[in-house]
Amino acid sequence: MKHNYLTFVALCLAGWLALTTNTAVQAATFTVTNTNDSGAGSLRNQIAAAAANPGPDTINFAASLSGQTIALTSGELSINHDVTIDGSALAERLTIDGQNNTGRILYIVDGTVTIDSLRFINGDSNDGDPGDDDGDGGAIHIAYATSVTIQNSEFSGNQSQYNGGALYILQSPITLTNNTFTNNSTQHAGGAIRNADGAFAVNITNNTFVGNWADTGAAIWLSGGAEVIANNTFSNNRDVLAVYNNAPTPLQLNNNTFLGTDGVFARSAGAVLHMRNNIIGDCQLNGGSIGTNTNNWIVNGSCSPAYSGNPQLGPLADNGGPTQTAAPLPGSGVLDAGDNATCTTNDQRGMPRRDGNGDSVVTCDLGAYEGGTMQCGVGAGNSYPFPNQSGVSILVNSEVNLDCLYVDEIPVSHPNATGVSEGQDLRTGKYWLIGGLQTDKTSTATFNVDLTLPYASASASTRACKWLDGAGPGFGWNCEDGAMGTTFDLGTSVTRQGVTAFSQWAVGDGVGPTAVTNLQADTTPRTGQGWLVGLLVGLMGA
């Protein structure tokens, strides 16, 4: 009996081992090796191969496909199984182009699906009748999926006949993170996204929506589910407001920035807006209501906000992080105006909260961007370090009416950091937005200071360079020595003495002491990037 029992146990263990081993080998990785529409090594081929393989699979891409384009010629791709399509290892995103003539790009029906670091352009679902899903979802149509996650991706120039210029979501929970939606359109609802029919979770976080268009819901149209929209930036979406809530369920709006007249609309009787720490252009209620209204800045004063008027934001730009954002200018009222109890932990870029108004208390800012650090009560003869801004330091020689110093480090190259003269090098990788304010923390001050910028390769040829931006004589980079000269700490920093006006600053190396007083960087404005000419006039001086 003992022998039989042991045999039985051994057989059970062997069966369990075989089962778990078999399960482990079912998941597989398939690699796309070319940009062909179909055939061996194509994305279409590898999706089919993954579908034929049991278990959750991964599809990735050969390194040679970095920055390349797959032009679809034989219709949409289709997914009906658990799979991750991962382009994150590529140096540049791979593009899938629907060419505006092959229908939408991707149809997801069933399965747990993740899409990472891809670019979807020119999808076109304009072949359908009302109520026929052929006209929904210009780039991706999602229906009855277990869950879908799309992150670090871009959707541009997609269109649909009826709903969801880029994405149409039907009875599927979805998470969208770190994506950019630009110039997508539909003739009906949801210029970028329409979520339709079903009590499923919708989480839209850290995305940017620019120039999308629809008859209703210029960027997003919602109609059901537990909906959260947090840390997103909206700009120039039209016609009817950027976010249209037609759901008989609450919508959570936390720390979003709606530039210009972009805003929110609550239509149905059960459409309740819970708004916290947002910057909004316009808010409209037509049957909907407000359940929570905490520390919101609504430009036109609609929906009874805590703050209204001009929030003093810079334009949409690359301010670091995976998506474009709009930074508050020095003296903006949105700095430290949030409610710490309800703010998101980090901003849209992933940056932590800071003391932005000089009261020695770390309080979150309104909107999707956490601004820089402010120190107030400054006086002549004192030096003020900004350790959270890579060690920028400002020595006040004469304060006149200066009371507050503001520094915001932008952890990317200045949009005009390229194209300098041969032999001259404007250091890339970061620059600083610096302001000097009076006691009201909004008015530009008069002062004389020494400005120290950190630079690990500082030498006698290093200079602190000021971006003129049309706010003073010339246009371009001023890298001269300043009124009192320039000093350096070898391998540590460079100091420009006698600074009397702030702006945007970067480190120049090999630029010479006076030869680049009006150094012309790349002065051609970039679409959606950079600071507009004269934007800082009146805020930081000439």
Q: DSSP state, 55?
A: S
Strand ranges (E), 144-242: 147-151, 154-156, 159-160, 167-170, 174-177, 180-182, 185-186, 193-196, 202-205, 208-210, 213-214, 220-222, 227-230, 233-235, 238-239
Cβ proximity of 256 and 273 under 8 Å: no
Which residue ranges in the chain fall short of pLDDT 50? 1-3, 5-25, 419, 421-423, 472-473, 512-542
Tokens of 117: 């670091």
Give the type of residue at 397: N
Which sign does the torsion angle of CA 433, 439, 445, 448 carry? negative
Q: Which two tokens mark 476?
A: 């371009």
Classify each residue of 514-534 as buried b or exposed e, where b means 16 or more C-beta atoms within 10 Å of its C-beta. Answer: eebbebebeeeeeebebbeee
Measured CA to CA, the distance from residue 268 to residue 530 in angstroms comes to 40
In the prediction, which pLDDT does 511 show?
Answer: 61
Two tokens, residue 116: 């990472």
Q: What is the pLDDT of residues 268-294, one digit of tens each?
A: 878 999 999 999 999 999 889 999 999
CB 409 within 8 A of CB 391: no
Count of CB atoms situated within 10 Å of the CB of 9: 10
List of residues 6+ apart from 373 with CB closer than 8 A: 354, 355, 356, 386, 388, 389, 406, 407, 408
DSSP assigned state of 428: P
The pLDDT of residue 540 is: 39
Nearest to 190 by CA among 130, 239, 118, 256: 239
| Cα torsion 38, 40, 46, 49: sign | positive
- Helix/strand number for the chain, H first, E second: 2, 49
3-state secondary structure of 13: helix
Which one, of 445, 431, 451, 441, lies nearest residue 508 by Cα? 431
φ/ψ of residue 23, rounded to 5: -65, -40
pTM of the model: 0.88
403 and 438 in contact (C-beta within 8 Å)? yes
pLDDT at 509: 81
Which helix (H) or strand (E) element contains residue 409? strand 404-410
- As given in the structure block, the two tokens for residue 33 are 């090796």
Q: What angle do CA 130, 136, 138 make, to 5 degrees?
A: 140
pLDDT in tens, 428-466: 789 999 999 999 999 999 999 999 999 999 999 899 999
pLDDT value at residue 528 = 37
Distance in angstroms (rounded) separating the CA atoms of residues 499 and 215:
51
CA angle 429, 432, 433 (to 5 degrees): 140
pLDDT of residue 132: 59
CA distances in angstroms from 491 to 454, 485, 486, 488, listed in the order given: 9, 19, 15, 8
Helix, strand or coil, per DSSP, at residue 491? coil
Computed on alpha carbons and rounded to an integer, the radius of gyration of the chain in Å comes to 27
Q: What is the number of residues in the chain?
A: 542
- The pLDDT of residue 6: 45
Q: What angle do CA 524, 528, 530 make, to 5 degrees?
A: 55
Could you tell me which of 117, 134, 236, 258 has the C-alpha nearest to residue 183? 236
What is the reported pLDDT for 427? 72
State residue 482's pLDDT score: 74
Q: CB of 513 within 8 A of CB of 463?
A: yes
